[in-house]
Amino acid sequence: MLTHFVAYIILSSPLQLRESKGLPTIKLRPHCGEAGDIDHLAAAFLLCNNISHGITLRKSPVLQYLYYLAQIGLAMSPLSNNYLFLEIDRNPFPTFFQRGLNVSLSTDDPLQIQYTKEPLVEEYSVAAQVWKLSSCDLCEIARNSVYQSGFSHEAKSHWLGNKYILRGPEGNDIHKTNVPNLRIAFRHETWTEEMQYVYSGNARIPEEIDP
């Protein structure tokens, strides 16, 4: 937990300077919630843009709900987890995805764990087979990964469309993402209702997503 605060303090001043000059900034995306105590997940909630792993959120419904409300990205690696910590049939990825958490699939230790020359495709293929993910599901997960990435605005516009920073179906270009507007609308409306519930109907929903 302390390492998150130290990293945040060290990075905060130079990043503020870079941002003020219009230069690219570094976002804090630590390995977090793979094993051990859940305290560092609480610290990451306060300080981090995204995290890698996050499987121990399954042990804390409160933190899981906060991560959902904040839409903090979780880049999860089920095959790595299966090898090291948690068997794939117990992995919370499909549950997190169904509940609307901002999850994506990623690799971890691919030289040690994966068997093919396309380790990320391997993650998607296994996840699709084990959890019966549809093509719509896979495309939504891939869409999430672009939002979570550190790619430039131009790169994200190329993959997601020019309006990708807008919330809801207005920001979805189905010709780019292959995700139906109905799915995006469902995610957005459900999240908005939860935010209004928490804020007693007074939530201020930004029109744009922080890329």
pLDDT digits (tens, 9 = 90+) for 130-168: 999 999 999 999 999 999 998 989 999 999 999 999 999
Active site residue 158: no
* Residue 92 annotated as part of some ligand binding site: no
Tokens 């560092």 -> residue: 40
* Rounded CA separation 199/202 (Å): 5
* Residue 31 annotated as part of some ligand binding site: yes
Domain positions in the chain are 151-211
pLDDT digits (tens, 9 = 90+) for 39-62: 989 999 998 889 999 999 999 999
pTM of the model: 0.90
Q: Which stretches of 48-166 are DSSP H helices?
A: 61-70, 78-84, 93-99, 110-113, 119-130, 135-148, 153-160
| CB-based contacts of 134, cutoff 8 Å, min separation 6 | none
Q: How many residues would you count in the chain?
A: 211
* Residue 111 annotated as part of some ligand binding site: yes
* Residue 98 annotated as part of some ligand binding site: no
Q: Which of 40, 53, 175, 188 is flagged as catalytic?
A: 53
* Rounded CA separation 172/181 (Å): 7
Tell the burial category of 64 from Cβ atoms under 10 Å away from its Cβ (0-12, 13-18, 19+): buried
